[in-house]
Amino acid sequence: MKKTRVDQKFAALKKQGKKGFIAYIGAGDPSLADTVDIVLRLEEAGVDIVELGLPFSDPLADGRVNQDAATRALAAGATFDGVMNCVAKIRERSQIPLIFYAYLNTLYARGFEKAMNEAAAAGIDGFLILDMPREESGPYKKFISAASLNSIMLITPTTPGERMKQIVKDANGFVYCVSREGVTGVRDSIAEGARGLVGKIQKHTKLPVALGFGIGTPQQAAEAASFADAVVVGSAIVNKFHNNPHTPEGRADAAAFVAEMVNAVKAV
């Protein structure tokens, strides 16, 4: 498989001795046109990779903030075709690595192979499919690979060691380490077992390990970056862009908030 923008970004970060910053936003929140603007502002803020949440009515891995973002996107008229067009518009102005954070229903309804090909054609680099267990991924992995997309795999605090070994074998791009049990959302501190979990994963793979779920301040981001290869921040960013005025000034303020966390990660 050819190297994606995600692969190239992590190779560059390793060469620079820097940790990565991955930002999550909901595609289509508050609109698809606004999503293009927000992604470009995230890139200006120093974000390395953007996760785009593919809007879905029942996002079971997400807390209230990201659920609400998906609901707003759907209410604003976001469709699969619309999101693909949004990605294509981003690609006219940026080569920032983009991955879809998605649920299987949306892709299955579209036709999985068709969805992979359309996403790749639009300019997506990979998929993180939240509800696709390894045991059931066989029929789908070949289509992800054939489209030259990264397949980002999740490992959680409850993943047994033997299963962890198998999961990382199927992954490419990077491994997403869920810092705590439960759903997405800002927390007061990094989960106690997160450092140990990242260490266990790193023993089983040479892929970068990104830590996500619950990180929302520069201090937390820096702490996570001290032991993980990359940090994922979602709900705090979604909240900031949503609560700020949808004006150039409001967007600039939200981007400055993200830049603080990016700078904290890069200083590690």
- Give the active site residues: 51, 62
Cα(190)–Cα(126) distance, rounded to whole angstroms?
27
Residue 188 burial class via C-beta count within 10 angstroms: exposed 0-12, middle 13-18, buried 19 and up: exposed
